[in-house]
Amino acid sequence: MKQTLIDIMGAMMPYMKTPVMVGGGVLALGLLLLLVRMFTGRAPLLGLVSWLLIILGAFYILCQFMGMYLGMQPTINFGDPRKFEFKTVEFWKVGLAFVIPGIIYLFGAKTQRR
């Protein structure tokens, strides 16, 4: 069973960069919606965006813990492997980069203007 999980984790590692890029877009959208909320008092999608970021961040943090349990060090390479550039970032750092702004956006969605 453990070997099967290691094989699955090794197979999915190259595809983990795409959700990070999508999450970055959602992060930028959340910032835009937070600014709209601050100036107009209306941004109904801000709560949804914040929960998406929290769920995505929790996914990466859980993947980090699962990888550590399996004896692997899950990282994402943001460098160019063709040029032998290796800029690796651990999954837990990526997860926190989504969870913390997601919580801030959630508080921004819950506050009321006076």
Sort strands 88-90 and 75-77 into parallel, antiparallel or unpaired: antiparallel
pLDDT at 113: 61
> In this structure, are residues 73 and 111 in contact, taking their beta carbons and an 8 Å threshold?
no
89 forms beta bridges with 76
**In the chain, domain spans:** 2-109
pLDDT, average across residues 8-18: 82
pLDDT at 95: 96
pTM equals 0.86
Q: pLDDT tens digit string along 32-53? A: 999 998 888 888 899 999 999 9
Could you give the angle at the alpha carbon of 67 between the alpha carbons of 16 and 5, nearest 5°? Answer: 90
Give the chain's mean pLDDT.
88
DSSP state for residue 114 in the 8-state scheme: -
pLDDT at 42: 84
pLDDT at 33: 93
